[in-house]
């Protein structure tokens, strides 16, 4: 099995207190790996290093065996689809055009989008449930609908590595699950390696093959979700008491923050 994403010995600093360090992680095609950890632990910074938006001081990030820092933007765009944590639209492109832009990385600058490109874009728009909005300007849709458009764009791109920074932020209760289910499905069916950051341990438990627990710039635990997500690790990460509930053979994390009020 090929390692689509390989990170070895990565260290990164913004020059202030925070430092991402000793990061080593491999993700195979078809695998969903979730970064879970408190605000400020370094999830976004790591995703940006993986997409060559930040340059580590030490270590290497490879996609399909090649150093991301040695790729030109076109090659990187073919291999990595990145959905940032927040995005402010600047031009009133239609939703369809925004998604179609994911396909541009597959074309030369002289090519027009083909019917295949439109079909892939429309498939992705349908998968996230935005077909009725596809002609609407991107500046005139809700925050959650924008998030869904960007996820559709990354999927239409058909990258080797799909990097999603808090893909469920801004999404309603149902859409959070729809998107995570879809991410897992496309990873399996299209052999994409997915790395995403999430804040909900239960979603991490349900939708990941591997979970990397992060704290203060380091991966402190890495493994199968049910092995790494438990009351001890949650306490270490968040200083919070929880218990595990098993329902239908599935483990769920239940917070115990108001024991006196139950």
Ligand X SMILES: Nc1ncnc2c1ncn2[C@@H]1O[C@H](COP(=O)(O)OP(=O)(O)OP(=O)(O)O)[C@@H](O)[C@H]1O
- Binding residues for Mg ion, per CB under 5 A? 43-44, 85
Query: Which of residues 21 and 43 has its CB atom nearest to ligand X in the complex?
Result: 43
Helix residue ranges, H only, the chain: 43-50, 73-79, 95-104, 115-127, 143-156, 173-190, 201-207, 225-228, 231-238
Residue 21 contacts ligand X per CB under 6 A: no
Cα R_g (the chain), whole angstroms: 19
Q: Least distance to ligand X from the beta carbon of 18, Å?
A: 4
Residue 49 contacts ligand X per CB under 6 A: no
Q: Which stretch binds ligand X (CB under 6 A): 13-21, 137-145, 150-158, 239-247?
A: 13-21
For ligand X, the binding residue among 8, 9, 40, 70 (CB under 6 A) is 40
Residue 33 contacts ligand X per CB under 6 A: no
On whether the CB atoms of residues 32 and 209 are closer than 8 A, the answer is: yes
Query: Coil, strand, or helix at residue 77?
Result: helix
Residue 88 contacts ligand X per CB under 6 A: no
* Residue of closest CB approach to Mg ion: 44
Residues 6+ positions from 135 with CB-CB distance below 8 Å: 94, 95, 96
On whether the CB atoms of residues 158 and 176 are closer than 8 A, the answer is: no
Residue 39 contacts ligand X per CB under 6 A: yes
Residue 18 contacts ligand X per CB under 6 A: yes
Residue 43 contacts ligand X per CB under 6 A: yes
- Number of neighbours of residue 220 by Cβ within 10 angstroms: 15
On whether the CB atoms of residues 249 and 76 are closer than 8 A, the answer is: no
Residue 44 contacts ligand X per CB under 6 A: yes
Residue 45 contacts ligand X per CB under 6 A: yes
On whether the CB atoms of residues 3 and 28 are closer than 8 A, the answer is: yes
For ligand X, the binding residue among 6, 10, 29, 42 (CB under 6 A) is 42
Which residues would be at the binding site for ligand X (CB under 6 A)? 14, 16, 18, 37, 39-45, 85
């Amino acid at each position: 099995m090929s390692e689509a994403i390989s990170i070895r010995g990565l260290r990164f600093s913004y020059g202030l207190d925070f430092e991402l360090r000793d990061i080593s992680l491999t993700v195979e095609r078809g695998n969903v790996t979730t970064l879970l950890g408190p605000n400020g632990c370094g999830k976004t910074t790591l995703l940006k290093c993986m997409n060559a938006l930040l340059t580590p001081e030490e270590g290497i990030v490879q996609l399909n065996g090649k150093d991301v820092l040695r790729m030109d933007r076109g090659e990187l765009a073919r291999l990595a689809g990145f959905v940032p944590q927040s995005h402010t639209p600047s031009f009133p492109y239609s939703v369809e055009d925004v998604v179609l832009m994911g396909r541009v990385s597959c074309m030369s600058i002289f090519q027009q989008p083909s019917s295949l490109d439109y079909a892939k874009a429309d498939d992705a728009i349908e998968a996230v449930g935005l077909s009725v909005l596809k002609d609407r300007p991107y500046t005139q849709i809700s925050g959650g609908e924008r998030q869904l458009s960007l996820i559709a764009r990354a999927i239409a791109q058909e990258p080797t590595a799909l990097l999603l920074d808090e893909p469920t932020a801004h999404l309603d209760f149902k859409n959070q699950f729809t998107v995570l289910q879809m991410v897992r499905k496309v990873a399996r069916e299209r052999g994409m390696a997915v790395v995403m950051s999430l804040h909900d341990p239960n979603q991490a438990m349900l939708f990941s093959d591997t979970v990397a627990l992060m704290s203060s710039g380091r991966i402190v635990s890495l493994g199968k979700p049910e092995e790494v997500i438990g009351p001890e690790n949650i306490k270490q990460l968040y200083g919070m008491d929880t218990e595990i509930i098993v329902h239908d053979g599935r483990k769920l994390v239940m917070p115990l923050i108001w024991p006196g009020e139950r």
